[in-house]
């Protein structure tokens, strides 16, 4: 039978129980820190220790174990016995850990532990001990549950740490199946996350957004969200499409608000997956208010707004030293003519293709002449991504001739000249 087959992986509840750590070097100090965090009563036996460097509170010190401490160490603290290890120091312990740097001392601790039927970890030579400390990664999920991953790798700690770090990265990114499978207890409510999915590319959603999406029971999705991520969801996740197109809003906003509240009150975790950022013309504020009014816990997960990222996709920065010192974002059907600034102040218009001709004409002012550069960027980061450039005088005609269709973003200002699509 292989060494790996002889290991029985097990989590230990050490809170309130005595653990004896023999040795006071950096390895022992790291183990003490972990044990204190787990609530153990820790006794350190060592003539010298670097415990202070680990910022571990020392409850009591005694030069001789036989004299006895003033009292047993309390959970989450340590007692330091400042001398070399002696047989009998393990009395009353549930677990022992030795990391003295002396093979003979570690062997003595392990032998004493074996006779006392106490599991023992030996840091110097793992084969001497009866227990092993794995590489551990912990991730707190959206329902405050904690996923703990422990990795052992054939007594190769560096390999174990590398595997642990890789798994921890995938846990944080939401690419592992993190959904809760046991139903919530009793009348416990679910939660709502308003997630900005970015401009549509699956790589441009935030790590937090992807992580909560991986834990959702219900996903209420917009047309411009990163819909390809829906293919990664488990079959039992309910996906509700509330996507809107120009002039067609099949699910009114008040019904979307009601859906979020309804499912959360039923004990489900709900992700409202939106394009861009929830607060940039995404009506996220209304959804947040609806959830709060219903007593539902809600979190906003910001996203990369398309107002900045989509122009960047075609080489147009919304600001650029010596070209544009600021920018404004507005919808194409709002009062564009009232926006101050000339060509050195970038205008980004969302949802403006339908009224492009009227908007372009209205934007022409004494400060913003008709030859101000303009661009229309279609389907940013999508399969149809395309940029059409012109000026305020010509852009509407050029867009019509090119058959420009939503979704598209309009950029007005001298920064358009920086795009590779602008004729040199």
pLDDT in tens, 110-127: 999 999 999 999 988 888
Tokens of 411: 């950029």
Burial class (CB in 10 A: 0-12, 13-18, 19+), 132: middle
Question: What integer pLDDT is reported at residue 122 of this predicted model?
Answer: 93
Question: What integer pLDDT is reported at residue 100 of this predicted model?
Answer: 93
CA quadruple 398, 402, 403, 404: dihedral sign: negative
Residue 135 forms beta bridges with which residues? 151
- HEC string of 6-63 equals HCCCCCCCCCCCEEEEECCCHHHHHHHHHHHHCCCEEEEECCCCCHHHHCCCEEEEEC
pLDDT of residue 70 exceeding 50 = no
pTM: 0.71
Average pLDDT of the chain is 87
Burial class (CB in 10 A: 0-12, 13-18, 19+), 82: middle
pLDDT in tens, 248-272: 667 899 999 999 999 999 999 999 9
Tokens of 77: 């603290």
Question: What integer pLDDT is reported at residue 337 of this predicted model?
Answer: 63
CA quadruple 341, 345, 348, 353: dihedral sign: positive
Task: Provide CB contacts within 8 A for 1, sequence distance 6+.
Answer: none
Judge contact between 133 and 157, C-beta under 8 A.
no
The most confident of the ranges 146-155, 222-231, 330-339 is 222-231
8-state DSSP, 320: B
Nearest CA among 37, 39, 35 for reference residue 21 = 35
8-state DSSP, 383: T
> Angle, to 10 degrees, between the axis of helix 356-363 and the axis of helix 395-402?
160
8-state DSSP, 131: B
Question: What integer pLDDT is reported at residue 67 of this predicted model?
Answer: 31
pLDDT of residue 56 exceeding 60 = no
pLDDT in tens, 277-311: 999 998 999 999 999 999 999 999 999 999 999 99
**Residues taking part in catalysis:** 222, 244
Q: Of 140-154, 186-200, 271-285, 335-349, which gets the smallest average pLDDT?
A: 140-154
CA quadruple 45, 49, 54, 56: dihedral sign: positive
User: H or E element: which one contains 172?
Assistant: helix 157-173
pLDDT in tens, 1-54: 445 567 788 889 999 999 999 998 888 988 898 898 889 999 999 998 775 544
Domains assigned to the chain: 4-133 (3.40.50.720), 137-173 (no CATH), 192-304 (3.40.1010.10), 308-418 (3.30.950.10)
Percent of the chain residues topping a pLDDT of 90: 59
The neighbour count for residue 62, using CB atoms within 10 Å, is: 15
pLDDT of residue 336 exceeding 70 = no
Question: What integer pLDDT is reported at residue 55 of this predicted model?
Answer: 44
Judge contact between 316 and 324, C-beta under 8 A.
no
Task: Provide CB contacts within 8 A for 42, sequence distance 6+.
Answer: 18, 19, 20, 21, 32, 35, 36, 73, 77, 78, 79
Nearest CA among 136, 186, 139 for reference residue 31 = 136
pLDDT in tens, 166-180: 888 888 777 787 787
Question: What integer pLDDT is reported at residue 63 of this predicted model?
Answer: 44
pLDDT of residue 141 exceeding 80 = no
Question: What integer pLDDT is reported at residue 1 of this predicted model?
Answer: 43
The CA–CA distances, whole Å, from 110 to 126, 166, 422 equal: 10, 33, 75
What sections of 232-305 are H helices per DSSP? Answer: 253-265, 284-293
Tokens of 219: 């996903």
Tokens 């005595």, located at residue:
18
pLDDT in tens, 367-406: 999 999 999 999 999 889 999 999 999 999 999 999 999 8
Q: Of 82-96, 133-147, 318-332, which gets the smallest average pLDDT?
A: 133-147
pLDDT in tens, 200-253: 899 999 989 998 999 999 999 998 889 999 998 989 999 999 987 665 667 899
The CA–CA distances, whole Å, from 330 to 43, 142, 347, 353 equal: 64, 34, 8, 13
Question: What integer pLDDT is reported at residue 64 of this predicted model?
Answer: 38
């Amino acid at each position: 039978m292989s060494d790996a087959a002889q290991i029985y992986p097990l989590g230990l509840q050490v809170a309130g129980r005595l653990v004896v750590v023999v040795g006071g070097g950096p390895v022992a100090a790291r183990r003490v820190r972990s044990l204190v965090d787990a609530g153990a009563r820790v006794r350190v036996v060592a003539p010298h220790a670097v415990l202070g460097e680990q910022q571990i509170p020392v409850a009591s010190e005694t030069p001789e174990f036989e004299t006895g401490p003033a009292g047993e160490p309390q959970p989450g603290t340590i007692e330091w016995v400042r001398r070399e290890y002696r047989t009998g120091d393990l009395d009353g312990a549930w677990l022992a850990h030795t990391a003295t740097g002396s093979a003979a001392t570690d062997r003595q601790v392990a032998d004493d532990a074996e006779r006392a039927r106490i599991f023992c970890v030996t840091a110097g030579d793992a084969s001497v001990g009866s227990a092993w400390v794995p590489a551990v990664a912990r991730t707190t999920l959206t329902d405050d549950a904690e996923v703990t991953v422990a990795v052992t790798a054939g007594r190769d700690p560096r390999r174990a740490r590398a595997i642990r770090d890789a798994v921890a990265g995938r846990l944080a990114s939401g690419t592992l199946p993190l959904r809760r499978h046991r139903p919530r207890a009793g009348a416990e409510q679910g939660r709502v996350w308003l997630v900005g999915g970015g401009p549509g590319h699956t790589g441009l959603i935030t790590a937090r957004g992807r992580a909560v999406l991986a834990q959702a029971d219900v996903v209420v999705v917009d047309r411009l969200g990163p819909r390809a991520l829906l293919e990664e969801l488990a079959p039992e996740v309910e996906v509700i499409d509330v996507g809107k197109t120009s002039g067609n809003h099949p699910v009114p906003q008040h019904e979307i608000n009601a859906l979020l509240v309804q499912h959360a009150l039923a004990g489900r975790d709900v992700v409202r997956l939106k394009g861009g950022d929830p607060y940039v013309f995404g009506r996220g504020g209304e959804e947040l208010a609806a959830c709060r009014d219903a007593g539902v816990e809600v979190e906003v997960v910001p996203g990369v707004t398309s107002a900045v990222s989509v122009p960047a996709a075609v080489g147009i920065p919304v600001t650029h030293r010596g070209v544009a010192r600021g920018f404004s974002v507005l919808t194409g059907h709002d009062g564009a003519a009232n926006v101050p600034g000339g060509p050195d102040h970038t205008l980004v218009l969302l949802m403006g293709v339908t009224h492009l001709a009227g908007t372009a004409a209205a934007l022409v002012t004494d400060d913003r002449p008709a030859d101000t550069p303009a661009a229309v960027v279609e389907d940013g980061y999508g399969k149809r991504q395309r940029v059409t450039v012109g000026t305020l005088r010509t852009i509407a005609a050029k867009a019509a001739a090119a058959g420009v269709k939503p979704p598209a973003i309009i950029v007005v200002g001298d920064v358009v000249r920086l795009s590779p699509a602008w004729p040199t």
